[in-house]
Every structure is written in structure tokens, then in C-alpha cells.
């Protein structure tokens, strides 16, 4: 593929709400599982990957805040 070839892409605005919900749910579950490990390296890796995916679809990104009770 040449650099100047047009690639058709979808963003959140073009996606069906159920598709957006499914993607966000998947990311939420991945982040929850990463947090359950207690391993900061794993949490940061999943947070970074999730952030990149959300940006690719035109979102604002992802950040993780861990509350300890």
C-alpha cells in the first residue's frame, strides 16, 4: 500500500452506539483485570494500549485512577 492511498476509517461518531458500548466495555474489563493483578507495569501497559485505541477512534483517551479502600 502506498502512503498516499486513502484508507477508509470509522470513528466513534460513525459507529453504532452498541459498537461503542462493546468497545468501551472491553477496555473497561481489560483495565479492571490489569488492576486486579496489582502489577503497576501491567496496569500501565493496558492503560497505554487502551488510550491508543480510544485515540484511534477519535476519543479523548483513557486514564486510570486507583482508589485503595
Query: Which residue range(s) make up the domain with 31?
Result: 16-56
Flag whether 41 is in a domain: yes
Establish if 37 belongs to a structural domain.
Answer: yes
Instruction: Kindly give the parts of the chain with pLDDT less than 50.
Output: none
Instruction: Please give the pLDDT value at position 64.
Output: 86
5 found inside a domain: no
Distance (Å, rounded) from C-alpha 7 to C-alpha 12?
Answer: 16
Query: For position 4, what pLDDT does the model report?
Result: 63
Asked if the structure places residue 39 within a domain, the reply is yes
- On whether residue 30 sits in a domain, the answer given is yes
- Return d(Cα 53, Cα 61) in angstroms, integer: 8
| Residue 67 counted as domain residue | no
Tell me the pLDDT tens digit for each residue of 40-58: 999 999 999 999 999 999 9
Q: Is 4 a domain residue?
A: no
Amino acid at each position: 500500500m502506498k502512503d498516499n492511498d486513502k484508507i477508509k476509517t470509522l470513528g466513534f461518531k460513525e459507529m453504532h452506539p452498541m459498537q461503542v458500548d462493546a468497545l468501551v466495555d472491553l477496555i473497561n474489563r481489560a483495565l479492571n483485570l490489569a488492576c486486579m493483578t496489582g502489577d503497576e507495569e501491567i496496569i500501565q501497559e493496558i492503560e497505554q494500549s487502551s488510550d491508543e485505541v480510544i485515540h484511534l477512534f477519535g476519543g479523548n483517551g483513557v486514564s486510570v485512577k486507583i482508589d485503595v479502600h
